[in-house]
Structure 1
Amino acid sequence: MADGSGRVLHVAETAQWELGRQVGSYEISSRGKTLAEEGFIHCSTATQAGPVLRNFYADLDPAALTLLVLDVDLLGALGSPVRWDDVPGAEAPFPHVYGPILPGAVVATLAVGGTAGAPELPPPADLDALDVLSAPPSPSE
């Protein structure tokens, strides 16, 4: 699938994101895995992020999580391209960042709502206003 413009989300533990922001490079792929271990950083569209939160982060306090809103074009310009990869069992490809997330590619940070066991995304209108992709770009984009 073609790389595409727009924005994608990454679920970060807030303390890890703050450390990465301070040192100038965030390299956590997913919960308990680093970029070096996985080879990429897991991201998702607005549609995919809710299930990711519920399946992998529900046991954490949502107040300890931050959604990073990442600009796909900025990531590429900073040397960390986004690729859309098929994931077994998933309905659509997931965006993966192949390199560290530099703070300059993070256009917004959003709080995760809800409670432990039931984390919630911000309202869809908020994600739409930030141009977060709800589906992978079409191959022609």
Structure 2
Amino acid sequence: MIYHVVPLAEWDTAPDRPYAPASLAEDGFVHCSPDERTTLAVVNAFYRSAPRPLLALLLDEDRLGSRLEWEAADPAPPPGATEGVAFPHVFGPIDRGAVVRVLEVRWDGEGRAASLAEAG
């Protein structure tokens, strides 16, 4: 499983079509994370001011219709991620059938992502 972070409102847009976030057009791929710890580090580094609720989609790599590549963080992994961690990048839209679980980011009293829990 790989993880992708998305605000609920963005995920709910066009539910009958594959999901294509802005990063696909801007960077050429969909940013993902390899595990929960890295996902929380990414949220704390880049998504603290994102609209909430914030979701973590768990994607089955075998169900993706687009190419998946594992690449090093550029320039470095965010604080809290393991040094040298490789990040999965999906080079095309995310097929909604590849999403096997949807978790919600839970926040601590200081506004930091603390855990992932069942959405809803």
TM-score (norm 1): 0.69
Q: Which of 46, 62, 73 is the matching residue for 1:56?
A: 46
* Counterparts of 1:34 and 1:9, CA distance in 2: 15
Higher strand proportion, which one? 2
Whose helix fraction is larger, Structure 1's or Structure 2's? 1
Which one has more relative contact order, counting CA pairs under 8 Å at least 6 apart? Answer: 1
**TM-score, normalized by length of structure 2?**
0.80
**2:82 is aligned with 1:89:** no
Q: Moved runs in structure 1, 4+ residues, more than 4 A?
A: none
Q: Which amino acid aligns with 1:99?
A: G
Please say if 1:39 is aligned against 2:52.
no
Identity between Structure 1 and Structure 2 (%):
36
The DSSP-based 3-state class of the residue aligned with 1:52 is: helix
2:92 corresponds to which of 99, 110, 125: 99
The answer as to whether partners of 1:49 and 1:121 remain within 8 angstroms in 2 is: no
Which one-letter code corresponds to 1:42 in the other structure?
A: H
Structure 1 spans left out of the alignment, 5+ residues: 1-6, 127-141
CA distance in 2, matches of 1:26, 1:108: 15
Cα-to-partner distance string for 1:33-62 (whole Å, 9 max, x where unaligned): 33111100000022311110101111246x
Q: Distance in 2 between matches of 1:36 and 1:70?
A: 20
Q: Deviations over 1:8-28 (max 9, x none)?
A: 0000011111114x1311111
